[in-house]
Amino acid sequence: MISQIQVLSNECSEEARKVENALRKEKILKQLAADEKAKHLEAINEVEQAKRSFTREAYSKHKAEMVGCIISLDKEKIVDAILSTSKNCRRYSKHEIELATGNFSEARKIGEGGYGNVYRCTLDHIEVAVKIIQQDSTDKTDEFLKEVEILSQLHHPNLVLLIGFCPEIGCLVYEYLENGSLEDQLLNNKRHQPLHWFLRFRIIFEVSCGLAFLHGRKPEPIVHRDLKPANILLDKNYVGKIGDAGFAKVISDLVPDWQTEYTDTIVAGTMYYMDPEYQQTGTVRPKSDLFGLGVIILQMLTGKHPNGLIVSVENAIKSRSLPYILDRTQTDWPVAEAEMLAKLGLRCTALKCRDRPDLESEVLPELEEILHRVSSIVNMRNPNSRAPGHFICPITQGLMDDPYVAADGHTYEHHAIKDWLRKHKVSPITRCKLLNLSIIPNHSLHAAIQQWKKSQTAQTQPWK
């Protein structure tokens, strides 16, 4: 009996161990199952997150592509609009520009800066300057398109002419101006002969004419915002032309001189030439350009750097010592006219726009009067500049370019005598009836007039 109980006890213990082992295995399996389930759920979450992330990236990429397409279409519309409104502005291909510049050869580079490089080359059998705008950002691309859009609509003798452009590489094709920038002429005397004082008066007047044209543009005026010597270029005859309209702004609604509301989020321009009021408030007006013009006037008179120049000229005028600060490369300044110009320049550099003179009604008339006075001085200093009497047409009282002899034996300007003979059959001088109405060219007098003109150029234009 005892042995049977022992056997049953052993069997129970064995079964208990089996049950315990089974429970332990079940627990382990449940833990493994839970771990696997957690891993599975984690994997599912990762997959879902990856899907969501991919969707966002795909959406963002698609959106960016759409925006890019819209911008590209907008740019093409601008380019098409430019070509349709300006017959003189041509679109060049990338190949044409690369061929003309020798793949942007260093030997043809004539300038460089933050905007890019400038190359001198030949396109369509004329010399041009190709300006490359670095389009590494949307701002630069917008600047390029803005400059094309503005310049393609503007044609004036004192504005640099835009001949064409290439949107693929972001380049502008300008007329080439042989004498470079006004900055080079004023501050780099080692490379250039000093500008004659008469040329300085004339260039200031020409630049003011170009500026007045921009400000008077219809229906909306244009403010240059970066008028400085580096942006004034000179052609072979030293005619001044305003260039670089990259910062130019079309003013839709003119801001009154007394108003100082903030209108520009990014102030554009160059230190020393930038309107202080615009710099402080962001408000831009046509008179904002007058500050830069005033500083340029003072530089033309003194040949000095703009830093502290306004105060220096003010003090010189107060102490009557202006002649001592005029550019010493010129020894025969007309002092009275130089002082008139200096005072005008100082008025243009008034701190507030409302205190500056009006360009059209005040500055230009004063400059015209000053230019007339200095022209008279040049003629007085060269008494031989008066043309001989027989070079003057009896009808027009002007120097003849194309002299013709009539039947009365006298010589006249061709177009003048032709117009006279359409209405009269008598001599313009003797009032006697002409034997016939025929006229013949006076070649010997024409040659003499041309020779005299050349000699006068040498006497009255020593800068050539």
Per the document, the length of the chain is: 464
User: Quick one: tokens of 91?
Assistant: 């679109």
Binding-site residues sit at 131
pLDDT of amino acid 261: 38
Asked if residue 129 lies in contact with residue 177, where contact means CB atoms within 8 angstroms, the answer is yes
pLDDT of amino acid 152: 80
Q: How close are the terminal C-alpha atoms of the chain, in Å? A: 144
pLDDT of amino acid 262: 36
Binding-site residues for ATP sit at 131
- Tell which CATH classification among 3.30.40.10, 3.30.1600.10, 3.40.50.2300, 1.10.275.10 matches the domain 389-460: 3.30.40.10
Q: What is the mean pLDDT of each run of 10 residues along the chain (464 residues)?
A: 65 72 76 78 76 65 55 54 61 93 92 78 92 67 71 86 88 91 82 88 95 88 91 92 76 52 53 89 90 97 95 96 94 94 97 94 95 83 71 89 92 94 91 90 89 67 50
Listing DSSP states for 403-428 in one string gives EEE-TTS-EEEHHHHHHHHHH-SB-T
Within 10 A of 244 (CB to CB), how many other CB atoms are there? Answer: 23
Task: Note every long-range contact of 268-275, with CB atoms under 8 Å and residues 24 or more positions apart, other chains counting.
Answer: 268/225, 268/226, 269/225, 269/226, 270/226, 270/228, 270/230, 272/228, 272/306, 272/307, 273/226, 273/227, 273/228, 273/306, 275/353
Helix residue ranges per DSSP H, 138-287 = 138-151, 182-187, 197-215, 276-281
Asked if residue 327 lies in contact with residue 301, where contact means CB atoms within 8 angstroms, the answer is yes
| d(C-alpha 270, C-alpha 9), whole Å | 106
| d(C-alpha 135, C-alpha 30), whole Å | 64
Q: Is 289 a catalytic residue?
A: no
pLDDT of amino acid 117: 87
The one-letter code for the residue type at 22 is A
Residue 274 DSSP label = S
Is residue 163 helix, strand or coil? strand
Which CATH number is associated with domain 182-381?
1.10.510.10
Listing DSSP states for 108-148 in one string gives GEEEEETTEEEEEEEETTEEEEEEEP--SSHHHHHHHHHHH
| d(C-alpha 408, C-alpha 240), whole Å | 45
Peptide bond into 219 cis (omega under 30): yes
The one-letter code for the residue type at 357 is P
Asked if residue 115 lies in contact with residue 134, where contact means CB atoms within 8 angstroms, the answer is yes
> Is the fold of 90-175 the same as that of 389-460?
no
pLDDT of amino acid 133: 78
pLDDT of amino acid 136: 59
| d(C-alpha 43, C-alpha 49), whole Å | 10
- Dihedrals φ, ψ of 413, to 5°? -65, 135
- Alpha-carbon distance values, 358 to 18, 282, 292, 297 (Å): 110, 20, 14, 16
Q: Where are the domains of the chain?
A: 90-175, 182-381, 389-460
Listing DSSP states for 371-410 in one string gives HHHHHHHHHHH-GGGSPPGGGB-TTT-SB-SSEEE-TTS-
Task: Note every long-range contact of 347-350, with CB atoms under 8 Å and residues 24 or more positions apart, other chains counting.
Answer: 347/294, 348/290, 348/291, 348/293, 348/294, 348/297, 349/291, 349/294, 349/295, 349/298, 349/310
The CATH topology of domain 90-175 is Phosphorylase Kinase; domain 1 (3.30.200)
| d(C-alpha 227, C-alpha 211), whole Å | 9
CA atoms within 13 A on the CB side of 317: 20
CA atoms within 13 A on the CB side of 173: 25
Beta bridge partners of residue 131, listed in sequence order: 118, 172
Q: Which of 80, 226, 264, 358 is catalytic?
A: 226
Residue 58 DSSP label = H
| d(C-alpha 304, C-alpha 389), whole Å | 45
